[in-house]
């Protein structure tokens, strides 16, 4: 896809995603509200825009990776006057389905196009270019942008605008609950007299095997809570899941319970990794602590 890309939002995920695009040979202009974060990509070959209008002006493809739906909405509104006719905006942030549908309606009304394409895989997946990318939009727009998205991971079209966010919420529903279950399994193993690390090794390859058991289970054993994905972000996702369920007329009792656990956790360690669910579990069980390693939070 021979077009200039404007990438908006250079955070934990945005930085490695831009590096993958640059490594694939794409011309990328980067913008961030804190300019210093964007400047860090200049040495890798990115062009740094000091203001939003400059970043998007003339760009056929705009990719946003921002904190939440309201931020995406504000940036989109500010960028709209400078957007090129028929530009394609791909929002890779995690937002509500209703927000993605509103962004699609707004851009369509102004002659531009929109795809919601949230991701899963964390900072490690972004750096490796192995993100799961869940896209909502038209088949034609997806076919146009897929070669670009492939530089960052594995894109899949899952339905019309807003569907990418639904798929991401389903992903986060499973992730959020499973992290808590892995914490419970590890703490139970130790409290009941087994070696939790050996228990984890023993069950791998069976039906309990998962990326969560692999990655977050190891983080818990090491008590490494340095953020890959933050507790506050998971709570936002949990709340968005419940909003989507309500809109669809569903009750999700387990997700409601998991959301309560993250709500409690965000009050003490909002910027810790999701694996800090272990800390919340230990707080419920005074005197129980997994392993002897010191907590790493930063």
Q: Which residues are catalytic?
A: 168
Contacts of 289 (CB under 8 A, 6+ apart): 282
- CB distance 156 to 166 below 8 Å: no
Instruction: Give the pairing of strands 131-136 and 119-120.
Output: antiparallel
Which residue in this structure is represented by tokens 């006057």? 81
Residue 267, φ and ψ in degrees, nearest 5? -75, -20
CA-closest candidate to residue 141, choices 87, 98, 95:
87
3-class secondary structure, 260 = helix
| Residue 141 falls in which region: left (phi positive, over 0), alpha (psi -120 to 50) or beta | alpha
Contacts of 22 (CB under 8 A, 6+ apart): 28, 41, 44, 45, 46
Contacts of 77 (CB under 8 A, 6+ apart): none
Host H or E run for residue 98 = helix 97-109
Return the structure tokens found at 142: 């997806």
The DSSP symbol for 223 reads T
> In Å, what is the CA distance from 258 to each residue of 65, 100, 172, 253, 277?
26, 24, 11, 9, 10
């Amino acid at each position: 896809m021979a077009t200039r890309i404007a990438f908006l939002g250079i955070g934990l995920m945005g930085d490695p995603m831009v590096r993958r695009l640059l490594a694939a040979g794409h011309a990328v202009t980067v913008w961030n509200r804190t300019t210093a974060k964007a400047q860090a990509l200049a040495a890798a070959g990115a062009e740094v825009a000091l203001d939003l209008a400059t970043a998007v002006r003339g760009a056929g493809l705009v990719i946003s990776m921002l904190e939440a739906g309201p931020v995406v909405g504000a940036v989109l509104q500010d960028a709209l006057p400078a957007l090129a006719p028929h530009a394609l905006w791909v929002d890779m942030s995690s937002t509500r389905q209703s927000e993605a549908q509103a962004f699609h309606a707004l851009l369509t009304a102004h002659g531009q196009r929109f795809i919601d394409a949230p991701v899963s895989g964390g900072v490690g997946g972004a750096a490796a270019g192995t993100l799961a990318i869940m896209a909502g939009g038209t088949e034609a727009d997806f076919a146009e942008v897929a070669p670009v998205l492939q530089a960052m991971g594995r894109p899949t079209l899952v339905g019309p605008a807003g569907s990418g966010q639904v798929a991401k919420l389903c992903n986060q529903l499973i992730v959020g609950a499973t992290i808590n279950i892995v914490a419970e399994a590890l703490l139970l193993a130790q409290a009941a007299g087994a070696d939790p690390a050996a228990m984890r090794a023993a069950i791998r390859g069976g039906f309990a095997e998962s990326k969560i058991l692999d990655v977050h289970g190891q983080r818990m054993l090491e008590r490494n809570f340095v953020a890959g994905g933050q507790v506050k972000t998971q709570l936002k996702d949990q709340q968005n899941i419940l909003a989507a369920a309500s809109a669809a007329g569903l009750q999700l009792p387990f997700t409601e319970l998991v959301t309560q656990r993250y709500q409690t956790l965000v009050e003490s360690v909002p910027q810790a990794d999701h694996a800090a669910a272990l800390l919340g579990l230990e707080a419920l069980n005074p005197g129980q602590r997994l392993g002897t390693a010191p907590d790493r939070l930063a």
